[in-house]
Every structure is written in C-alpha cells, then in structure tokens.
Amino acid sequence: MKGWQRRARLIIGAFTLIFGSAVWLTLQDREPVEDSSAIHSLDPEAVFESTGTVVTQTTGDTRDFTVEAERQLTYADGASRLEDVTITVERAEGDEFVITGDQAEVGETESDVTVTGDVVMRASDGLVITTEKASYNDRNGSVHLPGYLEFSRGRLSGTAVGATYSNERELLRLLAEAHVTLSEGSGGRADVTSRVASLARAEHYMRFARNVQIVQEGRTTTAQRAIAYYDEITGAIEMMELRGQAQMEGTAESPGELEAMRARDINLTYDEGTGLLQHATLAGQSEIRLAGATAADGQRIAGEWIDAALGRDGATVTALGVRERVEVDLPGADGGVPRRVRSMVMEARGDETQGLTEAAFTDDVEYRELRSADDGRPDLVTTADRLDTELGGSLDAMASATFSDNVVFLDGAAEGASSRAFYDVDAGIIQLRPMADQAARPRVIDARTSVEADEIDLAMNGSGMRARGNVRSMLTLGAGQGDEAEADTAETARLPGMFTSDEPAYVTGLQLAYEASSGVTTYTGGARLWQGDTAVQGDQIELYEQTADLKSIGNARSAFVVEEVNEETQEVELVPTIASAAMMHYEDALRRATYTTEAHVNGPQGDLRGDRVELYFGASQHELERVESYQQVKLLLTDRIATGMQLTYFTEDGRYVMRGAPVQILEDFPDECRETVGKTLTFFRSTDTISVDGNEEVRTQTRTTGSCPPPQFH
C-alpha cells in the first residue's frame, strides 16, 4: 500500500471515529433525520468523498507539481478519482503549464495523473492544447496525449492524432497526421502536413518527418523530412531545412523568376521583414527551373550543388552558383534556338531590377545549340575551358558569349579552334581570336577547306566567313574523287580544272571573305593559290565553288605546266608556262583561262602578248588544246617575230593562224632579215613554210645590212 493511501485511510478512520461518536450522542436525545443530499452525492462504491481539495503536491529541485480538484472520490482498493481537475506544474525558472479536464485518475505513485473530458493544456508561453485525454508523469515532466488534438501558440496552430509534450525540453511531438499552420503574418500563411512532427518551443523550430508537404505563398514544398525555424513574434518562417527527395513547385509571374526546385536536400532562408524566400541551397542531384515566356519555355539549371539568391520580391533570381555536372537547358526565348550548356562550375550574377546580367561557366565547358530536325543540320557545339556570357535578365536572354582557352567548335562538318572566341548570339557570328600569350592561331576546317589566320569571323548559320591577317587555306574541294570530280553537279563544290582533284591546293593572302549564298571565296592582299607546279596569284583571287571558276584580279600571274611531245624523242614532256595580265579568269565549264589587259603568256607556243589571251585546256589539267590572243598581238619565237590583231595556236600540230591588217612576220638571220606580210598568215613551229592569205608560196625575201626593224601594229 502506498504512502498517500495509508494517510488517506488514517484520515478516513479518524473521521469515522469522531463522526460516529457524535452521531451516537445525538441519537440519545432525538429521532434520526435522513440527509438525502449527502446520500445521493456519493458513488455507491466510493468509501470517501471530499470537495475543493489539493490531492497531491510535490516540491522538487526543478518543478512544483500540484493536482487540484473540485471533488475527490476514494475507493476501497485505494484508487482515487478526481473531478473538475486542475494540474499545475511550475518550473524553477518561473515557467508553468496547467492541465484542466472533467475527470482525472491519480496513479499509485502520486506522480502519474490521467485527465479525460474536455482536456485543455496551457503553457505560460501561450501554447494551448485541447483534446479528450492526457496523461502527465511528474517524474519526467512529460504529457502524453493519445487521441486527436488541436494546439495553438500565437500565429502557430495545428492538429494531430497523438502527441507527447516534454515540460523539461518544452518539446511537443505530434505522433500521427500532423498538420501545422502558420497564420497570416509578415511571412504569409504556411500549411505543413506530415506523418509526425515536433515543436521545440524554446528553440523556435518545428521538425517534420515522413511525407512532408508545405504550402506557402503559392508554392508547394515536399520532402521526407523538414525543419522549419520561425520567428516567435511574427510567426514568419526564417529558415527551412528539407531532407530527402526535397522539391518545391510554384507559379511565376514573369520570365526568369523562380518556378521550381528539387534536390536530395534543400535549405531555404526567408527575409526577416517580408518573410519571402531570399536564398536557397540545394545539394545532391540538384535542379531549379526558371519561368519562360510560356510554360514550354522554362529554363532548367542542374548540378550536384546549387546556391540561389533572390530579390526582395522572393521570385527574381539575382545570383546562381552551381557545382559539379552543371547542366543548363534553355528552350529559346521568343522562338529562338534552344541551347544547352554543360560545365563543372557555373556562377551567375545580377540584381533584382534587371535579373541575371552575366554568367560564367568553367571547367569542361560545352555550349550546344539544338537545331530542329527541319533544319537538316547537326547541332552547333562549342567546347572550351571557360565561357563568359552577357545576359538580358535571364539565362535564356543571352546577348553574347566569350569562350576562353582550348576553344573548339563543331558546326556540322566544320570544325574551328582558337584560344579565344567571341560569340554575338543575336548576330549569329563567332569571332575566333588568339590569346596574347599563346602562339596558336585560329583555324577553321571542314570537308572542303581549312583556314588559318590571325582573326576569323564565322557565321553560325553557315552564311559566310571572314579571316584577316596572314590567311592560309588548304582547299580539298573534290580531293580524292579523281576524275569523278569532273562529273559533279553545279551545286557540288570542286577545285578549278587547272588543278587536280586528287591533291589539296593551298591559298594565302592578307584577308579572306566567303559568302555562302553566292559560293564565292575571295582572298585579297597578295593572294596566291598553288598546287604542285600550278600557281595563281594576284591582288585578289576569287574562287567560285558552284562553278569551279577562278579569278585573279590585279597583277594577275599564273604558272603551270602543259604536256608537249618532244620533236626529237617523241616523248611527252611537261613544259612550264607563265602568264600575267591585269586579270585572269578561268571558266571551268569552257576549260578556258582568259588573261586580259596587257596579257603575256610564255609557254610552248612561244612568248605571246596581247590585250587578251585565252588558253583552252583539254580533259586533264596539263593538256593545252589551243591558245588564242586578241588585239595588239605579238608572238616571239626563237627566230621569228609575228604581230597582228588575232592569233590562234593549235597545240596538236604546232600550227599558228594569225590575222590582222596586215599580219607581219619578221625572221632575223645573221646576215639578213626576212619579212612576210598578209591579212592571214599560217605557219608551223616545225617548218619554214608560211601560208599567206590561204595560199602557200615562197616568201619574198628582203635582205638588209642590219637587223630587222621593230614590228609595226596596224
């Protein structure tokens, strides 16, 4: 039997003895009177009833525990039932909490009290809990609430099924179906649900676990576990830690605003004054999404770790830091080209007025423009050690990009490399530039040509290219195709017929300009094109890829070899030919090279001059079929000088046909000069016979004592 039960029995025994004696004495003088009210108020099974009593009071080192009741019923087995109960627990620090209820049962140890019926628990800091049953244990200062309950404290309120409250730690644990609400305040309303939760009143934080969901300011946040730190006065959430499959979904009003985030773990920080989201840190397969102009235009940023800062509106991203396996997907604002950027590190900065204004990507950078299937071209891909971009408020509004160190880009068959590249996104032009401390020069290579220069500008839509400064090119148009190159269609790029299709040709100049629409490549500034023994140079060289034509403009000069049969050995030899003029034009369809203005050609046909000279090639590059010259024609052979207005030389039989008004041929011998004149003269390299006006005759010989007079042009 417990001590309080023994005391209660002694009190009851003494009371019974005194009361019995008084009744016996009274009964000696009067008739017994029945007190019906006392009889009906007692529980028939109760052996004792009292009202307005303090059932137990314990004084310890840390708290005072008092149980008060309007009525107490005690039973024969020592059990005691209290009605209209008030339990007061006072701590040494002056804090207290009070539990009230309809009924209570005090345990045998006097430290356990179970309260039922309209139970209300109130703490001195404002915490109020209502339920139907609560058990208090004074030994550990804890309250167990097994059923449905509601609680509130300032702006904080909630419900749960089952809870425990630790008086020592001021910790409320919600055991099932937890629902916590932070009412309207500076931070707005937040509704949190989870399987279990705990409220640490002293530290001002709430801990949630198992299927956590938080609805706040138009955003829904979920995680397996969460800790929310809140301001006791305003009720605003100051910081939130999300753990395990954390994510936040919401809506955005303007492009570039935060729309969603997800990661293994997320930490959120809120502004003290406004209660709006100001900072987010994501760890483990992290991803955030920024709003685009439409739902399909959202921008995705991913990495192992993300740090994001927001403006005072709680939506505009003003800074981003991303680490490890960075992925940025940009769908293309206003119908622009979708882009994707990969790197190991990303840093973006801006302000709440303009949004993001610049971003830098470092370590294994890959920039990709995703072309549609209708485009018919592969993606544009650029790699570098670093990428710096200028932004117009969001990552998708990329105005320019600067690639640095080990820059390589792939645009279909085209490949470029340089130590630095500037990309004007709006204009679609990439500028390849060398670094000041690096010797490597920019270069561009595709299936048809390679270009190296001090500076190269390339249109990313394939429309053209510019190069400046000691330009060097290697042309492989049709290389390796052999004779099949001659059968290419006009749309297929190929080398001019003066060059073989089996080997590359080379071009140098100070500048290069290529226009894809016309298919013309222009080299200026001491331009030179060569392949083996064949070379063309001039102030400007133009190559026409669709027709395989070639022009040399200004101080045009060419050198090549042609096949000729040696008269003595009858073997085919390659004879050098050198030509010069103000301009040279090779037309591949006609297999003709035309030299105009002070044309001069020195080859198997002799030393030929005229206002215009035309060379007609055969099936191969070294086969010369005929030569024609017009206006002020002069031909110098070993022992002849011929002048006239037009000359045709036929390579096959070494025949010359010269016309003029008249044609004059002077043959200079040691002791005489022979002169032949006529409207049309035909002669051969291998014979002395000359046909005058179509009639063969022995020429009139005029002997002179000196050399032949200079030729006269008529």
The last residue of one of the domains, among 150, 180, 201, is 150
Same domain, 77 and 145: yes
User: Over 90: is that where the pLDDT of 60 sits?
Assistant: no
pLDDT band (50, 70, 90) for residue 700: very low
In this prediction the pTM is 0.75
Task: Check residue 36 and give its pLDDT.
Answer: 43
pLDDT band (50, 70, 90) for residue 52: confident
Task: Check residue 42 and give its pLDDT.
Answer: 56
Same domain, 45 and 87: yes
Task: Check residue 184 and give its pLDDT.
Answer: 59
Residue 639 lies in a domain: no
Tens-digit pLDDT profile for residues 475-499: 986 544 444 434 443 345 688 988 8
Task: Check residue 274 and give its pLDDT.
Answer: 80
Identify the domain containing residue 18 by its residue range: 3-33
Task: Check residue 332 and give its pLDDT.
Answer: 75
Same domain, 145 and 45: yes
| Of the listed ranges 190-194, 521-525, 561-565, 579-583, the one predicted with least confidence | 561-565
Same domain, 72 and 9: no
Residue 138 lies in a domain: yes
Whole-number percent of the chain with pLDDT over 90: 45
User: Over 80: is that where the pLDDT of 606 sits?
Assistant: yes
Same domain, 129 and 28: no
What's the mean pLDDT in 414-435?
Answer: 89
Residue 115 lies in a domain: yes
Residue 661 lies in a domain: no
| Of the listed ranges 176-180, 337-341, 554-558, the one predicted with least confidence | 337-341
Neighbours of 476 (CB within 10 A): 18
Residue 400 lies in a domain: no
**Greater model confidence, 372 or 115:** 115
Give dist(CA 486, CA 618) in Å, integer.
12
pLDDT band (50, 70, 90) for residue 62: low
pLDDT band (50, 70, 90) for residue 698: very low
**Greater model confidence, 572 or 241:** 241
Task: Check residue 14 and give its pLDDT.
Answer: 43
Give dist(CA 409, CA 431) in Å, integer.
11
The last residue of one of the domains, among 135, 150, 165, is 150
Task: Check residue 78 and give its pLDDT.
Answer: 67
What's the mean pLDDT in 343-347?
Answer: 96
Residue 508 is encoded by which pair of tokens?
Answer: 């140098």
pLDDT band (50, 70, 90) for residue 37: very low
User: Over 90: is that where the pLDDT of 469 sits?
Assistant: yes
Give dist(CA 487, CA 485) in Å, integer.
5
Give dist(CA 172, CA 197) in Å, integer.
8
User: Over 90: is that where the pLDDT of 167 sits?
Assistant: no
**Greater model confidence, 421 or 24:** 421
Q: The domain that contains 47 carries what CATH number?
A: 2.60.450.10
Residue 684 is encoded by which pair of tokens?
Answer: 């051969």
What's the mean pLDDT in 393-407?
Answer: 89
What residues form DSSP beta bridges with 326? 343
User: Over 50: is that where the pLDDT of 644 sits?
Assistant: yes
Task: Check residue 627 and give its pLDDT.
Answer: 95
What's the mean pLDDT in 164-179?
Answer: 89
Give dist(CA 467, CA 104) in Å, integer.
95
What's the mean pLDDT in 628-653?
Answer: 90
3-state secondary structure of 652: coil
Give dist(CA 174, CA 194) in Å, integer.
9
Residue 495 lies in a domain: no
Residue 700 is encoded by which pair of tokens?
Answer: 């009139």
Residue 140 lies in a domain: yes
What's the mean pLDDT in 396-416?
Answer: 88
Task: Check residue 108 and give its pLDDT.
Answer: 67
Give dist(CA 676, CA 710) in Å, integer.
14
CB 83 within 8 A of CB 69: yes
Same domain, 133 and 56: yes
Task: Check residue 456 and give its pLDDT.
Answer: 94
pLDDT band (50, 70, 90) for residue 129: very high
Name the residue with tokens 């676990």. Answer: 209
Average pLDDT, the chain: 83
| Of the listed ranges 56-70, 365-379, 410-424, 620-634, the one predicted with least confidence | 56-70
Same domain, 12 and 82: no
Same domain, 68 and 140: yes
User: Over 90: is that where the pLDDT of 366 sits?
Assistant: yes
What's the mean pLDDT in 397-416?
Answer: 88
Task: Check residue 335 and give its pLDDT.
Answer: 67
Residue 550, amino acid: L
| Of the listed ranges 56-65, 298-307, 469-478, 528-537, the one predicted with least confidence | 56-65
Alpha carbons within 13 angstroms on the beta-carbon side of residue 316 total 15
- How many domains would you assign to the chain? 2
Q: How far apart are the first and last CA of the chain?
A: 154
User: Over 60: is that where the pLDDT of 188 sits?
Assistant: yes
Task: Check residue 491 and give its pLDDT.
Answer: 46
Task: Check residue 699 and give its pLDDT.
Answer: 47
CA nearest neighbour of 184 among 234, 126, 238 = 234
The DSSP-derived string for 308-377 is EEE-TTSSBEEEEEEEEEEEEEE--GGG---EEEEEEEEEEEEETTTEEEEEEEEEEEEEEE---TTT-S
222-249: b or e for each residue (b if 16 or more CB lie within 10 Å)?
Answer: bbbbbbbbbbeebbbbbebbbbebbbbe
Same domain, 78 and 18: no
For the ranges 196-200, 296-300, 321-325, the one whose mean pLDDT is highest: 321-325
Same domain, 81 and 112: yes
What residues form DSSP beta bridges with 290? 258, 299
User: Over 60: is that where the pLDDT of 585 sits?
Assistant: yes
| Of the listed ranges 26-35, 564-573, 673-682, 699-708, the one predicted with least confidence | 26-35
**Greater model confidence, 62 or 390:** 390
pLDDT band (50, 70, 90) for residue 604: confident
92 Cα distance to chain centroid = 61
CA nearest neighbour of 180 among 129, 144, 117, 256 = 129
Give dist(CA 231, CA 238) in Å, integer.
7
3-state secondary structure of 553: strand
User: Over 80: is that where the pLDDT of 276 sits?
Assistant: yes
Task: Check residue 137 and give its pLDDT.
Answer: 87
Residue 496 region by backbone torsions, left for phi larger than 0, else alpha for psi between -120 and 50, else beta: beta
Same domain, 10 and 62: no
The last residue of one of the domains, among 150, 166, 189, is 150
CB 252 within 8 A of CB 394: no
User: Over 80: is that where the pLDDT of 271 sits?
Assistant: yes
Give dist(CA 46, CA 23) in Å, integer.
21
Residue 106 lies in a domain: yes
Same domain, 60 and 98: yes
